[in-house]
């Protein structure tokens, strides 16, 4: 019940296309859902995050869509660029737990 399941494991998108990464969870107590971006040899960096009181949050080309009833959330990268090529992790936490629980990651390659 503490898992966050992320898909796909890898994704290849053409420059200018839309990249979509999905995550699902079981624990209904989760109340914070961030996405992290990681480049090779570096630590992850917070990209965007959402709380369950909203269904969508947009920051530039990055959008989180959140479906509370389905217990799913997704990251959409519009107009994908080669510089977006990285590994993306979804995560979740609940009020009782301080530590984030991470998905297994998606490696995105944007071809030019």
Contact footprint for another protein (CB under 8 A): 6, 9, 32, 34, 36, 41-46, 49, 89, 93, 98-105
Measured at the alpha carbon of residue 55, what is the angle toward residues 105 and 65, in degrees to the nearest 5?
Answer: 30
Distance between CA atoms of 43 and 76, rounded to whole angstroms? 21
Taking the complex as a whole, the smallest distance from the CB of residue 5 to another protein amounts, in Å, to 10
Nearer to another protein, 8 or 16 (CB): 8
In angstroms, the Cα distances linking 43 to 60, 65, 69, 110 are 22, 25, 32, 20
Return the SS3 of 36: strand
Taking the complex as a whole, the smallest distance from the CB of residue 7 to another protein amounts, in Å, to 12
Nearer to another protein, 84 or 103 (CB): 103
Nearer to another protein, 6 or 63 (CB): 6
């Amino acid at each position: 019940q503490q898992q966050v399941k992320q898909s796909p494991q890898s994704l290849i998108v053409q420059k200018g296309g839309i990249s979509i990464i999905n995550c699902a969870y079981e624990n209904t107590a989760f109340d914070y859902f961030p996405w992290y971006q990681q480049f090779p040899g570096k630590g992850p960096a917070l990209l965007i995050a959402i709380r369950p009181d909203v269904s969508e949050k947009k920051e530039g080309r990055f959008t989180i869509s959140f479906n509370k009833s389905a217990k799913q959330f997704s990251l959409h990268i519009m107009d994908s660029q080669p510089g977006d090529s990285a590994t993306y992790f979804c995560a979740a936490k609940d009020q009782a737990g301080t530590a984030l629980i991470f998905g297994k990651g998606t490696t995105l390659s944007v071809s030019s």
